[in-house]
Every structure is written in C-alpha cells, then in structure tokens.
Amino acid sequence: MTADEQNMSSRDRIIAAGAVMLGEDAGARLSVRAVAERAGVSTGSLRHHFPTQRALQDAVLARVYDEVVSDDRIHDRTVPARERLIDCLRLVLTPTVGEQARQAWLTVFRTFLVPEQTDEIRAAYLGMEREGQRRVEYWLSVLVEEGALADGDNTRRARFLCTVLNGLSVERAFPAEESILRSEAETLHTAVDCVLSSPA
Amino acid sequence: MTADEQNMSSRDRIIAAGAVMLGEDAGARLSVRAVAERAGVSTGSLRHHFPTQRALQDAVLARVYDEVVSDDRIHDRTVPARERLIDCLRLVLTPTVGEQARQAWLTVFRTFLVPEQTDEIRAAYLGMEREGQRRVEYWLSVLVEEGALADGDNTRRARFLCTVLNGLSVERAFPAEESILRSEAETLHTAVDCVLSSPA
DNA sequence: AGTCACGCTAGCACAGCGTGCTAGTACAGT
DNA sequence: ACTGTACTAGCACGCTGTGCTAGCGTGACT
C-alpha cells in the first residue's frame, strides 16, 4: 500500500483500484473480490459502499471518464484536429455512462416513444436532436475554418456523426461485451477519420 | 419428452430446448445446466456438443436468426460490392420502419432495459448483438475474399457498422426531421465508403 | 461516565456459474 | 471378437454476486 493509498478512504481506494485494473486491462471484469483485494479491502467493506457490482462498475467507469474533457477543447490547436473532434464528441457521451445511460434512455423512451406521437412531442424531440447536431456542426465549422477539414456539407457530416453517437449511446445503455472504452474509441476514431478525409 | 423430441438427436434437442427457452423469455440466460435439464440431457453430453457456453448460445441464436435474414444478396456479383453491402445492412433495418420501428424498440427496451440488469439479461442481449455482428463480419469476409475489400480487421469494421446500424435504427423509431430515407441513405453510404476505403 | 446509535469493516455461507475431467455405454469398422 | 470412436453421465474445482452476522471505532445524548 502506498502512502497515497493510506490517506484515501476505503471508497476512494476501491475506485482507484478499479480504475487501475481498467487501465491494465480495458476489458477487466471488476469482480467484487478482485477489486476488494486489489484495494486492500474486504468484500464486505466494498459491498457497503457499492451494494451491487453494477454500482461498483459505474463508479469506476465514471471516475475514468471524469478525467477526460472540456468543450473549448475544439479550439486548442496544440493538439491534432482529429483528437480534438473525438474529445468533443466524447463530451456528448460523457454524461451517460453505465446505469446513468440506462436511466437516460429509459427517460427518453418514456418521454418520446411510449406516448402516442403528438406534434408537441415531435417538436420537443426534434429540438433536442437539432441542438445536438448544431453543436457537432459548430465543431466541424471550427475545423473547416482553420483548414483542418475540407469545406463541404457539414450538415451531412454532422448527421453522420450524430448517428454514430446515437449508436454508441445506445450501446452504452445496454450491456457491453467487453470494455466499451476500447471498442467505443475505435468506432469513434473510424467515424472521425471518415469525416476528416471526406472529399465533399 | 414429446414424440418429436424422442426422434431428435441430443444436439437438436439441446438447440431446440434453448430456442424454446429464448422464446419463452427473450432474456433467458441459456446456462449449461438449465438448457441440459430442459433438453433432458446431462451437462456432460451438452458439453460434448458445445464445448463452451458461448458455443451453445451462438448455436441457438444462429438457429433463431436463420429463420429471418437471407444472405444471398452479398454473393450477387452483378452489382457493385458497395451496393451489395449497403443492401445487406439495410436488410437488418428493413423490419423496422416507422411505427414498426417504434414498436420494435419498445419491445427491446422493455425486455432488456426496463428490468433490472441481471446476468441473464446481459447475456441474452450480448448474444443477440454478437450474432448480428457475426453476420456483418461474414458479409465483409465475402467482400474481402473477392478482393472488393482490403484484408483488415473485419471485427472492428463490423463493430463500426453495427454501431451505425444501431444509430439509424434508433433514429427510425423517433420522429424524423424530414425524409429519413435520404439522410439514412447518405449516412449508410458514408459508413460503407468509410469501411470500403479503409487502409487496414 | 455511561451507553446508545451508526458508519464502517471483516469475513463467512450460499447458490449459481463455466469448465475440466474421468468413467461408462453403444455402435461402427476391421 | 477386438478396437476405436462418438456419445452420455456426472462429479469436482474455482470462480462469481450477494446476504448475512459479528465486531470495531467514533461521536452524540443522557
């Protein structure tokens, strides 16, 4: 146990241990016992802080994602345009992770999909979607302005990226095969590369 | 045991039992012991035919899926590879359009997202997703074989395409801005072009 | 000072899981 | 008749998530 770990509460040690394990193997299982042992804590103690394994995984994942991004990143020309765009897109996904993603989608579905489709509901949903797409289009326009992205149909590009984000978001809400960190990153890279190298 | 079941081999009985269990509860876990008992077979026997649980799930799901989608299209070399892949991907989306898409997603959500996340539900969803991705990977492998697609990481490519399909599927269920057909076609083309022109 | 309550920790018990393994059976080919 | 192969049965191991009780310290109230 390091000095840092001594000064951390059990809860923090557990999350830290889980984060480390995710770092070593992005597809780590984060089993109760393994994390507890790694954190130098009993399973009972761990289960006091995280009553279910899901709670544990969510907490660790949230910690990992929290160390990531902010919005004005798109203007930071010291990093490649590609990374900036990816970070910003990730920003959209950040609020939804694990159980939160599930709750978020449940809310969305109950709000927009379960009730019969009135014009009001339609308009509300379209407003949300438009706002999301507007942000993406803005990021793209910034890249175009600085020459990192060829002038072209940003609306179409943004719609493509939003579709990918929708897919990723759904996949976050549903159980993931392995760590969504890895596959999600790959997919995001693929999509962004596709947009950045698009002729028109 | 019914007369039919008596005349079936153990292997068939196992798959049939698994399919029935999936039919009764789409979130069934298909555990080795449960399926074996249901099929009136010992676990050892089951494990002879299906060495791993994964093999069992895949076999059952393949059986279920085989009653739905046709792969013929991908082999029709009279049309460009790009169009064929797009058609096959569209094939996945076809069952869900408009109100049907809404109903389909409602079912999916009620099955996999509303109930609390058990290992059973997890496994069931993952199996479905895996089977879908397996199909896409197969289509890609056909294109690779005929030289229309560079040899590369088809798993990653398939995951990307599945994510796009997920996004498109969601967007079909929710209210659309204007004609979803055009934007959907554009997005699908973008995604497919992205994959077909990928270096690795 | 006593004691009561509560946050926290430790650790065991249980049922379930996937899987490795061996022993036994039935039937084909030689 | 002998042998090999396909199949079946079933046990054992180590793992999982979770429920549970017992003990520890600390702070508040009588």
- Give the domain B72-196 fold: Tetracycline Repressor; domain 2 (1.10.357)
- Give chain B positions within 8 Å (CB) of A198: 190
For residue A138, the tally of other CB atoms under 10 A from its CB is: 14
Q: Residue A198: is its pLDDT beyond 80? A: no
Closest to B139 in 3D by CA, of B72, B80, B191, B200: B72
Q: Are B42 and B130 in contact (CB under 8 A)?
A: no
Predicted local distance difference test score (pLDDT) of residue A163: 92
Contacts of B38 (CB under 8 A, 6+ apart): B17, B18, B20, B21
Give A-chain residues touching B156 at CB under 8 angstroms.
183, 186, 190
Please give the ipTM for the structure prediction: 0.72
Kindly state the tokens that stand for A98: 């694990």
**C-alpha A173, offset from chain centre:** 11
Q: Does the distance separating the beta carbons of B168 and A163 come in below 8 Å?
A: yes
d(CA B17, CA B19): 5
Measured distance CA(A81)–CA(A25) in Å, rounded:
28
Query: Using CA of residue A39, residue A44, residue A46, residue A48, what is the dihedral sign?
Result: negative
Query: In chain A, which residues have their Cβ closer than 8 Å to the Cβ of B121?
Result: 175
Least confident of A2-11, B88-97, B139-148: A2-11
Q: Compute the average pLDDT of residues A36-49.
A: 93
Can you read off the two tokens belonging to residue B151?
């040899």
The ranges assigned to domains in chain A are: 3-66, 71-196
What's the rounded mean pLDDT across residues B167-190?
Answer: 81
User: How open is the CA angle A70-A73-A75, to the nearest 5 degrees?
Assistant: 150
Q: Residue A179: its pLDDT value, please?
A: 62
Q: Are B32 and B43 in contact (CB under 8 A)?
A: yes
Question: Is domain A71-196 in CATH 2.60.40.10, yes or no?
Answer: no
- Residues A154-191 pLDDT 10s: 988 899 999 999 898 888 888 776 666 778 888 888 88
The residues near B196 (Cβ < 8 Å, ≥ 6 apart) are B81, B82, B85, B143, B148, B149
User: Given a cut of 80, is residue B138 above it in pLDDT?
Assistant: yes
Interval A81-131: pLDDT, tens = 888 888 888 887 766 666 777 778 888 888 887 777 776 677 777 777 878
User: Residue A43's Cα: distance from chain center in Å?
Assistant: 28
Give tens-digit pLDDT for A1-16. Answer: 444 555 578 899 999 9
Distance from the Cα of B24 to chain A's closest Cα (Å) equals 21
Burial A55-73 (b: 16+ CB within 10 A, else e): ebbbbbbbbbbeeebeeeb
Q: Is A3-66 assigned to CATH 1.10.260.40? A: no
List the CATH code of the domain at B3-65. 1.10.10
> Which whole number is the average pLDDT over B117-144?
83
DSSP codes, chain A = --HHHHHS-HHHHHHHHHHHHHHH-TT----HHHHHHHHT--HHHHHHH-SSHHHHHHHHHHHHHHTS--GGGGG-TTS-HHHHHHHHHHHHHTT--THHHHHHHHHHHHHHTSS---HHHHHHHHHHHHHHHHHHHHHHHHHHHTTSS-SS-HHHHHHHHHHHHHHHHHHHHSPPSS-HHHHHHHHHHHHHHHHHT---
Residues from B in contact with A at Cβ < 8 Å: 102, 105-106, 109, 112-114, 117, 121-122, 125-126, 129-130, 156-157, 159-160, 162-168, 170-171, 173-175, 177, 183, 186-187, 190-191, 193-194, 198
pTM (2 d.p.): 0.77
Higher pLDDT pick, B23 / B89: B89
Q: Which stretches does DSSP call E strand in chain B?
A: none
